[in-house]
Structure 1
Amino acid sequence: MHKIFRLINPAPLTARVRSRECCTYLYRLLKFVGWIPPKQNLQRYLYVFWSALVLTFGELYVPMGLALSLVKNFTNFTPGDFLGVLQAFVNANGATLKSIVVIFLYSRLSQMESVLDIMDERLRSDSDRRRIHKAVADSNYIFLVYAIVYCCFITSVFVSGVLNGQPPWFLYNPIFDWRSGAINFWMHSIVEQIFVTLSVLTVLIWDTYPLIFVFMMRAHIKLLREHIRNLRTDPLKTEAENYDELTRCIRDHKLILQCCDIMRPVLSGIIFVHFQLVGVLLGVIMINVLYFSDLMHGISSLIYLTAILLESFPCCYLSDLLAEDSNDLLNLLAQSNWINAERKYKSTLIIFMHHVQQPIVFIAGGLFTISMNSNIKMAKFAFSVMTIVQQMNLGDRLK
Structure 2
Amino acid sequence: DDAKRRLYAILKMNIQHHQAIMLCVNELEQVMSMSTYIILLVNALTICLHAFGFVELFQGGWKGPAVVKRLLACPIYMAQTALFCLFGQSLTDHSERLLDSAFSCGWPGADGRFCSALLIFMQQASQPLKIRVGKIFTLSRNSFLQIMNVSYTIFNMLLNTQ
- 1:162-207 Cα shifts (integer Å, max 9, x gaps): xxxxxxxxxxxxxxxxxxxxxxxxxxxxxxxxxxxxxxxxxxxxxx
Report the count of equivalent residues. 158
Percent same amino acid among aligned pairs? 18
Tell me which residue corresponds to 2:67. 298
CA distance in 2, matches of 1:289, 1:249: 52
**Which structure exhibits the higher relative contact order, with contacts defined as CA atoms closer than 8 Å and separated by 6 or more residues?**
2
The 8 Å contact of residues 52 and 159 in structure 2, kept in 1 or not, is answered as no
CA distance in 2, matches of 1:289, 1:271: 27
SS class of match (2:130): coil
CA distance in 2, matches of 1:383, 1:373: 15
SS class of match (1:238): helix
CA distance in 2, matches of 1:260, 1:380: 27
1:319 corresponds to 2:88: yes
CA distance in 2, matches of 1:389, 1:256: 43
Tell me which residue corresponds to 2:111. 342
Tell me which residue corresponds to 1:265. 30
- Name the one with the larger helix percent: 2
Tell me which residue corresponds to 1:48. none
- 1:75-104 Cα shifts (integer Å, max 9, x gaps): xxxxxxxxxxxxxxxxxxxxxxxxxxxxxx
**One-letter amino acid of the counterpart of residue 85, structure 2:** C
The 8 Å contact of residues 289 and 298 in structure 1, kept in 2 or not, is answered as yes
Alpha-carbon distance change, 340 to 290 in structure 1, aligned in 2, over 3 angstroms: same
The 8 Å contact of residues 317 and 372 in structure 1, kept in 2 or not, is answered as yes
How big is the shift at 1:279? 2.6
Tell me which residue corresponds to 1:354. 123
How big is the shift at 1:252? 1.0
Tell me which residue corresponds to 1:330. 99
Runs of 5+ consecutive residues of structure 1 not aligned to the other structure: 1-235, 395-399
How big is the shift at 1:389? 4.2
Tell me which residue corresponds to 1:276. 41
SS class of match (1:339): helix
The 8 Å contact of residues 283 and 386 in structure 1, kept in 2 or not, is answered as yes
How big is the shift at 1:258? 1.5
- 1:278-309 Cα shifts (integer Å, max 9, x gaps): 33211110111232261211111121112211
How big is the shift at 1:261? 1.6
1:182-197 matches, within 5 Å, as: none
1:95-174 matches, within 5 Å, as: none
SS class of match (2:50): helix
Tell me which residue corresponds to 2:78. 309
Tell me which residue corresponds to 2:139. 370
**One-letter amino acid of the counterpart of residue 266, structure 1:** V
CA distance in 2, matches of 1:378, 1:259: 26
SS class of match (1:248): helix
Tell me which residue corresponds to 1:254. 19
CA distance in 1, matches of 2:18, 2:115: 18
Alpha-carbon distance change, 262 to 289 in structure 1, aligned in 2, over 3 angstroms: same
| Structure 2 length-normalised TM | 0.87
1:380 corresponds to 2:156: no
- 1:21-42 Cα shifts (integer Å, max 9, x gaps): xxxxxxxxxxxxxxxxxxxxxx
| Structure 1 length-normalised TM | 0.38
1:210-249 matches, within 5 Å, as: 238-249=3-14
The 8 Å contact of residues 267 and 362 in structure 1, kept in 2 or not, is answered as no
CA distance in 2, matches of 1:391, 1:261: 42
The 8 Å contact of residues 88 and 138 in structure 2, kept in 1 or not, is answered as no
**One-letter amino acid of the counterpart of residue 69, structure 2:** S
4+ residue runs of structure 1 moved beyond 6 angstroms? Answer: none
How big is the shift at 1:355? 0.9
Alpha-carbon distance change, 376 to 336 in structure 1, aligned in 2, over 3 angstroms: same
Tell me which residue corresponds to 1:129. none
How big is the shift at 1:390? 4.0
